[in-house]
Amino acid sequence: MSGYALTGTGTLYRLALRRDRIALPVWVYVGTGMIASTAFSFRKLYGDEASRRTFAAGIDGNGSLRALYGPIFDGSTIGGLTAWRMGVFGAVLAALMSTLLVVRHTRAEEEDGRFELIGAGAVGRRAPLTAALAAALTANAALAALVTVVLLAAGQALAGALAFGLALGTTGVFFAALAAVTAQVAETGRAANGLAGAAIGLAFVLRAVGDSGSGTGWASWLSPIGWSEQVRPFAGDRWWVLALPLGGAALLTALARALVEHRDLGAGMLPQRPGPAAAAPGLADAAALARRLQRGALLGWALAFAAGGAVFGSVAKGVVDLVGDNRQMADLMARLGGQQGVLNAYLSTIAGVFGMIAAVYAVQSVLRLRAEESSGRAEPVLAGAVSRLRWAGGHLLFPLLGTAVLLAVAGATAGLAQGAALGGGTGDAVGRMLGGTLVQLPAVWLTAAVALAVYGLLPRWTAAGWAGYGVFVLVAWLGPILQLPQWVLDLSPFTHLPHLPGGAFTAAPLLWTTGLAALAALAGLAGLRRRDLG
């Protein structure tokens, strides 16, 4: 292949960074903020080395917590505890960021037909893929650098801080290259993201199996997330392990570049299953079409929520055993959510986390409207006897009712797992957890309604709907830890919800939050009805 294959890479790289100038900083800042707040919390809870070692000893004896967070390789320093607490989830965050970024600028662009226009100019065959990978590399480098800086600011050793930052960054680079391959294999952006997401889930499970007990440690070495853990920041800093994700990324990148040359534009390597000759009776209207387009994503999210509920519910006993008589840790958990006991505090915190994750699905479902509009698929639908409000209403059923399904699934599985782990009444545990997860719905709806208002009124700024979500989550999640002023905490609807189970139920915040969501949604629909399509 001649050098012309990379023509235009620099221009496409700058375009990718410009298009994601909001989303990428949010991803990077959220990851960095979570790590910084974790280090701050450990410093406050365990100010001396003796208390840190005692805490670490409790973790090593708790198999369920090792499966969730991994083992503690160094319990004597704040950096070591931070690497334990955020290593796995920081790696998952970097993997998700990289996957979505690469697929967005490769397969999604090709699916929407924009690559055909770009390719008609002076653009090489490999340029879009190379530009997307370069953008992912930039984002992961920024994440690694900021993580290093915040740990240095927390007074931790340079070598350990750099090792931790690079462990997260190289994990993101590996999954960016994996997403580049799935973008060539699948024919749609959703399928490419689904394949890469399944790989992330498999990597998490393999690492959990390897960390859960003796005799299975080899499984961690089969997982790219496990490689990040095995770098062991602040506990020897095994730099050579970084060669595993980097080498894997190089091989996957070479495979993706080869696949680009052996497929047609717009096609994937997997054969497409031909559809039926005639549409089913259930696809006779716009709402049915919306259900057909959105049901696959809802099913995938439901399976993930079921698995997450089972995992977090089964860890409840380990959390109770770990906290024990540590009043400082119990106070921290109570400040994060819940008012009556360590178990209730933990469960209400987990319920809040599920609510924040469900809001991601809600915003994604709302923005599917923009994807249908910008791709031109909405025009044939609206050319018939279908109003804009009817078309939008079919899609909006998913952020409205789909989020309720997700939270109910998470609450039910978490309650079942908690009841099995702690013993006692499983039915009572399920009921309590269902109350804790479903009470998150008004805040989830308001987050989705803000995204809808931006889409309807300011379609060019539709991506700003994610910025609203980022503000709500950062304030609710980090605000109590950083002890921000109350007026700042009040900016997030998640901080106004009752802390269930364990807290007192009050209907007033649920009612006014739902009312605000309705007003924002009406504003967005009014804007969609009045403006020009596209």
User: Do 198 and 168 belong to one domain?
Assistant: yes
| pLDDT-derived band at 288, boundaries 50, 70, 90 | confident
* Same-domain status, 191 and 236: yes
25: exposed, middle or buried (C-beta count within 10 Å: 0-12, 13-18, 19+)?
middle
* Same domain? 314 vs 243: no
Which of the listed residues 229, 262, 295 is the one where a domain comes to its end? 262
CB 300 within 8 A of CB 406: no
What CA–CA distance (Å, rounded) separates 144 from 137?
A: 10
pLDDT in tens, 210-242: 887 666 778 889 999 999 999 999 988 999 999
Does the structure show a pLDDT above 50 at 336? Answer: no
The answer to whether residues 39 and 157 touch, using CB atoms and an 8 Å cutoff, is no
Q: Which of 43-52, 218-227, 313-322, 471-480 has the highest mean pLDDT?
A: 218-227
Q: Quick one: 129 and 77 in the same domain? A: yes
The pLDDT tens digits of the residues spanning 383-440 come to 888 888 888 888 899 999 999 999 999 999 988 888 887 776 677 888 889 999 999 9
Domain assignment of residue 65, given as a range: 9-262
Sorted by sequence, the CB contacts under 8 Å of residue 385 that are 6+ apart come out as: none
Same domain, 500 and 416: yes
Q: How far is CA 146 from CA 91, 168, 311, 320, in A?
A: 14, 11, 30, 34
pLDDT at 58 > cutoff 80:
no
User: Is the predicted pLDDT of residue 520 greater than 50, yes or no?
Assistant: yes
Structure tokens at 36: 């910084």
Give 193's DSSP letter: H
Same domain flag for 364 and 471: yes
Determine which of 1-10, 145-154, 255-264 has the lowest per-residue pLDDT on average: 1-10
Q: C-alpha angle 430/433/435, rounded to 5°?
A: 110
Are residues 289 and 151 located together in one domain of the fold? Answer: no
Flag whether pLDDT at 474 surpasses 90. Answer: no
Taking Cα atoms as reference points, which of 206, 176, 201, 179 lies closest to residue 190?
A: 179
Instruction: Provide mean pLDDT across the span 247-255.
Output: 95
Domain-embedded: residue 90:
yes
Q: Which two tokens stand for residue 411?
A: 């609450």
- Identify whether 276 is part of a domain: no
Residue 43: its pLDDT value, please?
A: 84
In a domain, 210, yes or no: yes
Residues 221 and 304 in one domain: no
Integer CA distances (angstroms), 208 to 222, 248, 311, 389, 484, in order: 11, 21, 11, 46, 34
% of residues, the chain, pLDDT over 90: 30
Say which amino acid occupies 528: L
Amino acid (1-letter code) at residue 439: V
Q: Note whether 299 and 433 are same-domain residues.
A: yes
How many alpha carbons lie under 13 Å from residue 10 in its C-beta half-sphere? 1
The answer to whether residue 158 is domain-embedded is yes
pLDDT tens sequence across 158-207: 999 999 999 999 999 999 999 999 988 888 877 888 888 889 888 888 88
pLDDT of 339 above 50: no
Whether 248 and 330 share a structural domain: no
Tell me how far CA of residue 177 lies from CA of 92, 172, 217, 255, in angstroms: 15, 9, 26, 9
Q: Are residues 332 and 462 in the same domain?
A: yes
Give the total number of structural domains in the chain. Answer: 2
Name the domain boundary from 262, 297, 331.
Answer: 262
Instruction: Give CA–CA dist 229/164, Å, rounded.
Output: 9
Q: Which percentage of the chain shows pLDDT scores above 70?
A: 86
